[in-house]
Copies of this chain bind each other. A is one copy, B any other.
Amino acid sequence: MTADTTPPRQDVKAALHECRLWRGASDAAIDALASAARVKEVPRGTTLVTEGEPADHFGVMVTGKARVFHLGADGRRITFETLSAGDPVAVVAALAGGRYPAHAETVTPATIAWLPREALFELMESEPTVARTVMTNLANRVVGLTSVVQTLALDVPARLARYLFQRALAVGTPSSQGLEVDLGMPKSELAAALGTVPETLSRAFAKLREDDLVEVHGKRVTVLDVRRLASLGSGYSEE
């Protein structure tokens, strides 16, 4: 069903090198990981990990994208994050050693390098600086989740404003009217990322539009008033 490799593949090594989790590890250590990895190529929509299963492995995305999410009792999904090449999959669960706390599935065809959790422990023992890197990484993860919780306490227009603001900082390009921003994804996907549904997102856009904060043209949005957008997105001030 899937293909394993015997010699370390080039793209796998590249992905492992890009993985922010153990940035700073020696090439030798990463190459060792690469040869220990079981590489799998899977189609879009494949379940990578299932909530509640014992967390004995973790993965690194080599190509493709995946989504980490929760399934509510009614089947609703709450998306935590979207993973792309170089991102680790389920590494937290592997470190914690319990069961996977969430589901993950691919949203495109993808290649994933799987490793047993012990491999990571060995890497950290052999290279102390890696342990420190992994540590700060985990800590940042906690901070990130904290802000997810914070964001969920805002209403949808505010969450959208926050997203647009951050997006404007990252990929905004100046234009005659203001800042041109390309939403990186279809609106239905953005809705899920903001923890809501397309209909409500649509109304949120409408609200920002009638407040003269943005203009919407398909997937391209013109931010007319960055300042007010930022303050609506909760408490970012200019300095």
Contact = CB atoms under 8 A, between A and B. Distances in A.
Majority-rule SS of A interface residues = helix
B73 A154 contact: yes
A29 interface: no
A135 B133 CA distance: 11
Interface string A65-106: 000001011001010100000000000110111100110000
Nearest to A100: B143
Interface string A157-180: 010000000000000000000000
- Range of interface residues on chain A? 35 or more
A101 B98 CA distance: 26
A146 B132 CA distance: 23
A135 B136 contact: no
Interface in A43-76: 70, 72-73, 76
Given A70-B150, A131-B131, 11 more contacts: A73-B154, A73-B235, A78-B153, A92-B142, A95-B136, A96-B140, A121-B132, A128-B131, A138-B138, A142-B145, A152-B152
23 contacts: A70-B146, A70-B149, A73-B235, A80-B149, A95-B136, A96-B136, A101-B142, A101-B143, A101-B146, A102-B146, A124-B135, A125-B128, A128-B128, A131-B132, A134-B135, A135-B135, A138-B138, A138-B139, A138-B142, A141-B142, A142-B142, A145-B145, A145-B149
